[in-house]
Amino acid sequence: MNLKRVAGVTAFSWVSLAVAAAPPGTARDPVVARAGAQTATAAEVRAALHALSYTLPPEALSTPVQLRGAAEAVIRPKTLAAMKLVDQETPEARRYIEHQRTAGWMKGWLDIQEAKAIARLNATPDLLERRARELYTQRAARLRAPTEASVTVILVDSYRRGFADATARVTEVERRIAGWTGDFAVLAEELTDDPAVRAKTTSVTFDVVPQQAEPPLRRVVFETMKPGEVTGPHATNHGLIFVRLNSRKEGALRPFEEVREQLIDEIRTEVAKQTRQEAYAKVADKPVELVGPYAEKAEKAAQAAASKPAIAVTTGAPTAGRPATPEGKR
């Protein structure tokens, strides 16, 4: 149930915020929000917030943001009905809209089952903590900090240089690297086309994690290279890159307290998903079978599909009169 406020709608005129959280069953049900001629009462707003009441404290439900969102969920359908916009649609469209209204019963019921399950989970903090620690052990590999590598790079700006000049430059860089025995960073500063290095606003040596590296460099830097090795040229979005791996540090397992809330959120998400599936299964215990004319249509469609010839699978061999396409050239 999405009760977030929709941007750009007509502003509401608030009569009272405090009474919107009044207990149900009171003799008086005051109007607490208004948009033009349409209004929302305290009881209607409470109903719109009911699913959230299982997991949020009363003070959280009484904030202007929550109350305004709930009031909007009450008022907008009233506005739609008052304007008789649905009546202007075709009969098929009106049937669809009616179907959506009744289908909302199912969604509302599932929302309540989910909210109650999360409330039960939150009511057992010791169990939730234990499950989070079990998940921490199970997903230790995923919870490690990213591996970090120190690299030094030489850029050949193939976009600016053009093909012939870039090819000659790559040959020159390869020759210089092969004969270099000193500090690689010194050579990189001399040879790189990176304008930021030339302007001394950045360095040829820097630290990088896998998420920051382009795919061609990610594999070699974090999987195949050994510290001290130089490889290249590698094609990247910036040009051709020669890279030296200076060091690589495997990420340490992040402390439990650092990822505790993340794990608890994952547990809640999984409980919510499982609860909705189990609740839906209660009303979906019998399969839906097509009958009458729709059953006949389904049978004819199955027969037509079965009668179609199988699609031939090519092996990559060239067909007659057509040369094979070289790999990488389309």
pLDDT (average), residues 77-102: 94
pLDDT at 282: 93
Domain end: 233, 249, 265, which one?
Answer: 249
Domain tally, the chain:
3
Last-in-domain residue among 57, 83, 109: 83
Same domain, 36 and 4: yes
Residue 107, pLDDT above cutoff 90: yes
The pTM assigned to this predicted structure is: 0.61
- Residue of 57, 16, 25 whose CA lies nearest to 43: 25
* 55 CB burial (10 A radius; 0-12, 13-18, 19+): middle
162 pLDDT above the threshold of 90: no
Residue 327's pLDDT band (cuts 50, 70, 90): very low
165 shares its domain with 224? yes
How far apart CA 122 and CA 218 sit, in angstroms, is 41
Check whether residue 29 and residue 61 sit in a common domain: yes
Residue 81, pLDDT > 80, answer yes
Whether residue 261 is found in the same domain as residue 137: yes
- CA atoms in the 13 A half-sphere facing the CB of 271: 19
Give me the pLDDT at residue 12, please. Answer: 39
Q: H helices then E strands: how many in the chain?
A: 12, 6
Give dist(CA 98, CA 82) in Å, integer. 16
Q: Is residue 174 part of a domain?
A: yes
| Model confidence pLDDT, tens digit, residues 42-78 | 999 999 999 888 888 888 888 999 999 999 999 999 9
Across all residues in the chain, what is the average pLDDT? 83
pLDDT number for residue 306: 85
Longest dimension (CA), the chain: 93
Q: pLDDT for 285-326, tens place per residue?
A: 888 898 988 888 888 888 888 887 766 555 544 444 444 444
Residue 62 shares a structural domain with residue 41: yes
Q: What is the pLDDT of residues 250-275, one digit of tens each?
A: 888 889 999 999 999 999 999 999 99
Amino acid 61: pLDDT? 86
- CA 81 to chain centroid, in Å, comes to 35
In which band, very low, low, confident or very high, does the pLDDT at 220 lie, cut at 50, 70 and 90? confident
For the ranges 70-84, 103-117, 157-171, the lowest mean pLDDT is seen at 157-171
Question: Is 171 a domain residue?
Answer: yes
In this structure, is residue 267 part of a structural domain? Answer: yes
Domain membership of residue 216 (yes or no) is yes
- Give yes or no: residues 128 and 272 share one domain: yes
Q: Assign 19 a pLDDT band (cuts: 50, 70, 90).
A: very low
Domain co-membership, 117 together with 49: no
Domain housing 221: 148-249
* Same domain as 206, residue 136: no
Q: Based on the fold, state whether residues 242 and 260 are members of the same structural domain.
A: no
For residue 325, being part of any structural domain is answered with no
What CATH number did the domain enclosing 243 receive?
3.10.50.40
Report yes or no on 78 lying in a domain: yes
Q: Of 83, 103, 131, at which residue does a domain stop?
A: 83
Residue pair 50/119 in contact (Cβ under 8 Å)? The answer is no
Instruction: Evaluate whether residue 7 is within a structural domain.
Output: yes
Contact (Cβ atoms closer than 8 angstroms) between residue 45 and residue 32: yes
The verdict on 12 and 71 lying in the same domain is yes
Tell me whether residue 8 is in a domain: yes
Whether residue 235 is found in the same domain as residue 158: yes
